[in-house]
Structure 1
């Protein structure tokens, strides 16, 4: 039965070495169970339509075993393959079939090791950089619109874009989990040399980075919501506040979109803006809840700006 070993080899190869080891072991056990199932049914019940149905039924029931569930269907498929490939003409030798399954699993694993599946770090990094770029563009767009005037429609557009970032962030988390798996039992790690300081298991700590990006999206969502509610408020914004705050928002957007951009400290400028306005006795008191919320949101986003720049420097220094 020359097909059995290559069949199991195909079941064993996965995108990462870790998955190949884990799922390959499950495939091997499931295939061995399929060999045993076909041997018992074929030897004692013969080969017929109803025994095929019985093999499928028993194999699918057995595939629900928790620790082989992902590859459990191989019990049924392997059993059917062996029953249908000349079982009546040549009784299969149980030990031979077990060896064939082991050979196939071994070949699949060796091929996976020799090809050295790529590490997925760069894919995770691209997700992070793309989300940061979009956050920066939203802030720049806010600054451009608020520099003159804006309406509810613009605020809704910002909100939709921010929600889209949240969806992409979920994909980024999936990419990071895949990156973690790609590093397990991967020879490429040893070929890249020793682990450097500031890395987690030889890798930038994307869990922490994405956590900070998630916070940034949350603060940006709050900022957009505040601006949307502000469109329903009566009265004009204080001109001095608008001009200074808009410039700070624009520079923060530039810094997030491109961490290499040199801008004055966002936090220091926000502190200065708060101090200037607090000394302005002509500023209507009803404006402070809005202005205070906008300043606070930007201060929190400014912290993300610094973390984004630091995270990028850590990645590029590798």
Structure 2
């Protein structure tokens, strides 16, 4: 529901930006004497990309491509016959020059587009080539300014939603692992848990992408300081999710092999299950925007669990299934150290 709302808000902002930017750019182009003011709003529409950074890059490539196309085409068009073969030869030469200069692929597209339009309109209006350069610059600049100061793109909420979903998934996996050893031993839940961990891995990848996109969306955003600090915290917390993924992947393998060997002692079932429940509670409450008091409380729980692990390993001296029990405690100890 939140994702649909954010998507709707982004589309609404884009509608307003295109309308306002087109109006201002048209009037400004007319003000500077353009006979083809429609070229300015055309640039506004094209240069309004997903993020400000992408808009700046696209605008630069569009301006460079337009200038190159005009320089290489305007003179030739007025002295050559207008037909498809001439158009193709001019485009081939101009785009190869742009490629030789190692310019971006977007620039190549803009060079080709400019050649087609100049080839079509320059004979009808001698001012078209100059207007195209000036109006393109006007439209690109207005698009960037509007993108920066009118509802600037910010995908922090989207990243937060994705992260919250991720923490719930990991918490549920840990809780199910606890139920497996305490209540459902012998039901061969390994395959089901492996499938859930694979889904978690995909969501982890999606969340990293969302955080990356959010970070890019704040570049050149004049109002982004608060959200930059939030994203920085998410960046640190995602490392804990990585550790959690490695942990559950290993623990499922350990429990799978342990289940094949037989029934663990009631002591092992109780202790292993309780450790997994504690970890489940920790990840359930792992939210960057929560109150610091709650977070410190959960960290204290993990520290207490870490302090108890060595003594629990020594207390439980039963020789049966020692390999699996010790493997679980060692992996848990490694995870706890990475979380604290």
TM-score, length basis structure 2: 0.76
Which of 283, 287, 306 is 2:321 aligned to?
287
Structure 1: runs of 5+ lacking an equivalent = 307-318
Q: CA deviation at 1:156?
A: 1.6
Q: Which blocks of at least 5 consecutive residues in structure 2 are unaligned?
A: 1-35, 287-293
- Give the equivalent residue in structure 2 for 1:5: 40
8 Å contact kept, 2:218–2:224: yes
Match of 1:208 in 2: 236
CA distance in 1, matches of 2:123, 2:104: 30
SS in structure 1 of the partner of residue 260 of structure 2 = coil
Within the candidate set 162, 167, 187, 1:127 is matched to: 162
Cα distance in structure 1, aligned partners of 2:186 and 2:94: 62
Aligned-residue CA RMSD (Å): 2.9
Deviation at 1:299, TM superposition (A): 2.8
Equivalent-residue separation in structure 1 for 2:324 and 2:61 (angstroms): 59
Give the 3-state SS of the residue equivalent to 2:232 in structure 1.
Answer: coil
The alignment status of 1:300 with 2:327, answered yes or no, reads no
CA contact (8 A) 1:241 1:273 kept: no
Aligned residues: 295
Instruction: Give the equivalent residue in structure 1 for 2:49.
Output: 14
**For the Cα contact (< 8 Å) 1:28–1:102, is it kept in 2?**
yes
Alignment of 1:67-86 (within 5 A): 67-84=103-120, 86=121
1:55-104 deviation per Cα after TM superposition (whole angstroms, max 9, x unaligned): 443455456454432443111122212322x3333334543332122122
2-structure distance, mates of 1:209, 1:59: 50
Q: Contact between 1:55 and 1:76, CA under 8 Å: does it hold in 2?
A: no
Measure, in 1, the Cα distance between the counterparts of 2:125 and 2:313.
93
SS of structure 1 residue aligned to 2:183? coil
TM-score by length of 1: 0.80
Inter-partner Cα distance in structure 2 for 1:239 and 1:175: 43
1:252–1:305 contact (8 Å) kept in structure 2: no
Q: Which residue is equivalent to 1:310?
A: none
Higher helix residue share: 2
Q: Which moved more, 1:68-77 or 1:125-134?
A: 68-77
